Each structure stands twice: as structure tokens, then as C-alpha cells.
Amino acid sequence: MVGGGVMGSTVAAGLVRAGHPGELITVVGRDAARAAATAADLCTASGTVAEAVPGADVVVLAVKPQDMEVALAQVAEVLAPGTLVMSLAAGIPLAFMKARLPEGTPVVRTMPNTPARVGQGMAALSPDALCTPEQVELARAVLASTGEAVTVPEKQQDAVTAISGSGPAYLFFVVESMIEAGVHLGLPRATATELVVQTLFGAATMLRETGEHPTMLREMVSSPGGTTVAAMRQLEDHKVRAAFLSAMEAAAHRSKDLSDGVVDDD
């Protein structure tokens, strides 16, 4: 694990919780003390990439996008042939990584999200053509240790970024708005918060466990002439559905611009 920050420590902890022996997981970061703190009681800390990478089955790059070029250069110097390399950094294309790693290196681009910190993440992985089925499954297992994971073609990663990568922020925004509405309607803030958070959790659980289409579940709550119908009419009148579509299109376009910029600067 190259990078001992939030995502690196999250994945390391998830792997240990999933039953992977901590002594087989090594964390290395620019800040040795931080890497040691990440590894404490979970796995092994290493001072340098040169010590950690040789002999690894998979190298997970959990660094910020702006630090990726330096991390790739360090890894490339000591990487054994055929070792799988995974990136957790947003917007870093496969081509960028492959250009900086030894020829023939199997590479996986991924897009995790922040709920991984509580074991409820949603991630997407895009392997390159050199990855074996076993390596793709290994990459999927690394991501699944912090939630769920799906495999998508790399060309869909911008859409993934817009939906699940940035998605938690949209939902937090909705939660903020509903809490403020509750306060406006006379509820204590703590009560409004509890009502909204549990309602969101319950609705998500209902979606997952019933397998019903969201439209069907919404209509179950929408009695003719009732309160929900009155509320939904306001949301439609204010074009909330269209606003969500525009927001996610903007996120996807920005993701593509950032990825294209990385390649263009190459």
C-alpha cells in the first residue's frame, strides 16, 4: 500500500477485517510516522517503496493524483515483472500509469468513494488487457474489502465518478436540505437530523433488500391528493430531476477534462 492517508488506511483496515493476514500487508508513505500509525495493530509499516514493493503480489497506489507521477517512478524502479499495480487516485488513466511502469505491467484503474471508511463503499475497477482473470479478481477483492465493487470499461470511469465517486456529496446535500426544512418547520435540529438520517438509511435498505424499482417504491408512499404528491409536485416544478442530471453531466465532463489533461501533459 503506497500511501498511508485516509484511503490507504481505509483499504488496509478493510483487508484485515476481511480476513487477510496483517503481516502480509505493508503500508509505506512519505511520512514514516503516518504510515506507522496507519499500520498500527493492523499490518506492517515500511520506510521506503524500495523495501515494500519487491515481492508483492499487488501494489496499491493510494496517493493523491498530483503525487502519482513520483509514486509511479519509485515503484517502477523496483517492481517485479508481472506484479499487479492498482491506482485508487481519481482521474489517472491507465495510459498514464502504463507509460511510467515497466513494459508488460498489468494495471487496474479504480474509483472508490468515501463510504468505504465505514465499510459501505462503492467502487468500480477497470483492468487493462494484460490483467489475468485472477488479477482482476484480486483487485476486486481489495476493493470489496471496504464495500462493493463492479468492473467497468475504462471509458465509463467518468460516468462512475459522476454517479458513485461524487454521489455521497449529492446525498449529503439532500440531507442538509431536509434537516434545514425540518428546523424551518419547527423541529429541534437534533430531532430533524435523526429523522432524516434514519429515513435515508431506511430508504436505501428498502431499495437493496426489496429489489423493487425506485419508482414503484416512491408510488407506494404517494397517496392520491396526499402530502407526498404535493411535495413531489414542488420538486418537479423546480426541476430537481433535471438539476440532478445536469449536475452529474457536469461532474462527468469535468472528470474527462481532468483525465485528458493528465494525458495531454504526458
Rounded-to-integer distance, Cα 121 and Cα 113, Å: 6
62 annotated as belonging to a binding site for a ligand: yes
239 annotated as belonging to a binding site for a ligand: no
Rounded-to-integer distance, Cα 81 and Cα 57, Å: 10
65 annotated as belonging to a binding site for a ligand: yes
> At which residue does the C-alpha cell 433488500 appear?
209
> At which residue does the C-alpha cell 449529492 appear?
170
> At which residue does the C-alpha cell 496499491 appear?
60
Dig out the grid coordinates for 204 from the structure.
436505501
Contacts of 54 by beta carbon, 8 Å cutoff, 6+ apart:
78, 79, 80
133 annotated as belonging to a binding site for a ligand: no
Residues annotated in a binding site for NADP(+): 62-65
Residues annotated in a binding site: 62-65
